[in-house]
Amino acid sequence: MELSPEEIARLDLRYVWHPFTQMQEWLEAEPLVIAGAEGSYLIDARGNRYLDGVASLWCNVHGHRKEAIDRAVREQLSRVAHSTLLGLAGIPSALLAARLAEISPSGLTKVFYSDSGATAVEVALKLALQYWQLRKRPEKRAFVALEEGYHGDTLGAISVGWSETFHRFFPPLLPVHRLRPPFLIARDLGGGSREAEALGAALEQAEAHLRERSEEIAAIVLEPLIQGAAGMWPQPLQYLPGLAALAKRYEVLLICDEVATGFGRTGKMFACDHTATSPDIMCLGKGLTGGYLPLAATLTTQDIFDAFLGRYEEYVTFFHGHTFTGNALACAAALASLEVFEQEQVLEQLPAKVELAGRLLDRLVKPLPAVAEVRQVGLMIGIELARERTAHPVPFNAAMRVGHRVCMEARSRGVVIRPLGDVIVLMPPLAISAAELEALVDATAWAISRVCSSL
């Protein structure tokens, strides 16, 4: 017997604890229950359609129910859904690793699978720590990360990525030194066109730090090109290669967390590709399976891999793994997703969409009085709302929940979006059509106007 939408909602309210959700607030309203999806749309249990404006938390790539991916998962299901990679190999996991090595920045040839962005980062951090011990530099135990970096919610990931709001109950467990990102330095300098100045200052700060303390630093960890969860903070293009050069000079590993930026999000396959930067370790998740199934990967160089080689009884093995590491269904979905990238020339079609998004934002969103700044890198968009649109925007009182209210208003126009505080995020599936993109930006602008004109 099928349950009614009301009955499903009641079960949710009674039993489900939702992520990143103030449950007191959640329990006061009827939840939107998603029962299906198609292309760029989510469909609720009553049959209403909503544009998936944040690609189901930044991961959907080719749209929902993409025939090629559905088929690949079904075909894999008829062979085997899951068998372990501990002591056994698998077909989709081997094929996918080879494919990832082919399309990733040069030098990244080894693939360690896990299940989510956060675990990909945990693996990266543990690899870096063990690597330096195996290389007889055990004092290299600290990490350098960016202020307000976000790398997931497990303990290692929240140590390198710190957000006062999210993580204040969990003091960092790892020694982490923070660099001020160019975005904040530009604001410190008074905003406007301070990018070049901020870039110089940010790299100077990084160099001064490494010059003094590289002996104790294992790796620099960052989200390349744009810090997503901080509120879509872009970096000047030369920041990443600048940091990469410093990392090399001072013998520190470079870990690029491409969990959010990977798989076309920034206009190229990886954010690193904009400047042909090759990190020592790269973390992938979210869009890896086209946004279908939980799968993550941590890619490394041959040099890192080699450090872990030895006889069993030397115990230099990387003793890390998860039950579902390299899951066959997820790897099959990922392979199919990469095939779609090729067959449908997804990357080639992106510049036109990115440009259209920019034009729509310029026309419909930027002129709104509550919009302090619109930031866009590829199809990662942040619209910062503020009480005053000065160089250092004056925020709304947090209790007003302006970002949240805008997103709820957009929902009444058939759009699902989710804010980061008072930054409205637009991050649709890459497959979004021009008409859908226009509907998304239009509904967002309408919702901002409606909420902010009543404040």
Distance between CA atoms of residues 183 and 162, nearest Å: 16
Shortest separation between residue 121's beta carbon and ligand PMP, angstroms: 6
Q: How far is the CA of 229 from the CAs of 3, 259, 381, 418, in angstroms?
A: 36, 11, 11, 11
Q: Which is nearer to ligand PMP, 150 or 250 (CB)?
A: 150
Query: Would you say how long the chain is, in residues?
Result: 455
Q: Which is nearer to ligand PMP, 39 or 117 (CB)?
A: 117
Beta carbons within 10 angstroms of residue 14's beta carbon: 8
Q: Which is nearer to ligand PMP, 122 or 409 (CB)?
A: 122
Q: Which is nearer to ligand PMP, 295 or 386 (CB)?
A: 295
Shortest separation between residue 285's beta carbon and ligand PMP, angstroms: 5
Q: Which is nearer to ligand PMP, 230 or 432 (CB)?
A: 230
Q: Which is nearer to ligand PMP, 117 or 429 (CB)?
A: 117
Distance between CA atoms of residues 195 and 183, nearest Å: 8
Structure tokens at 347: 């990357």
Structure tokens at 132: 């330096």
Distance between CA atoms of residues 335 and 355, nearest Å: 28
Shortest separation between residue 230's beta carbon and ligand PMP, angstroms: 10
Question: 227 pairs with which residues across the strands?
Answer: 233
Shortest separation between residue 154's beta carbon and ligand PMP, angstroms: 7
Q: Which is nearer to ligand PMP, 285 or 368 (CB)?
A: 285
Q: Which is nearer to ligand PMP, 268 or 413 (CB)?
A: 268
Shortest separation between residue 322's beta carbon and ligand PMP, angstroms: 12
Q: Which is nearer to ligand PMP, 117 or 182 (CB)?
A: 117
Shortest separation between residue 170's beta carbon and ligand PMP, angstroms: 15
Q: Indicate the residue whose CB is closest to ligand PMP.
A: 117
Binding site for ligand PMP (CB under 6 A): 58, 116-118, 121, 150-152, 223, 228-229, 257, 259-260, 285
Q: Which is nearer to ligand PMP, 233 or 341 (CB)?
A: 233
Q: Which is nearer to ligand PMP, 223 or 373 (CB)?
A: 223
Shortest separation between residue 48's beta carbon and ligand PMP, angstroms: 27
Shortest separation between residue 257's beta carbon and ligand PMP, angstroms: 5
Angle (CA) 349-282-326 rounded to 5° is 90
Distance between CA atoms of residues 393 and 60, nearest Å: 32
Shortest separation between residue 187's beta carbon and ligand PMP, angstroms: 21
Shortest separation between residue 265's beta carbon and ligand PMP, angstroms: 10
Which strands sit side by side in the sheet containing 419-420, from one edge to the other? 371-377, 380-385, 423-426, 419-420
Question: Which phi-psi region, left, alpha or beta, contains residue 47 (left: φ > 0; alpha: ψ -120 to 50)?
Answer: left
What Rg do the C-alpha atoms of the chain give, in angstroms?
22
Shortest separation between residue 129's beta carbon and ligand PMP, angstroms: 18
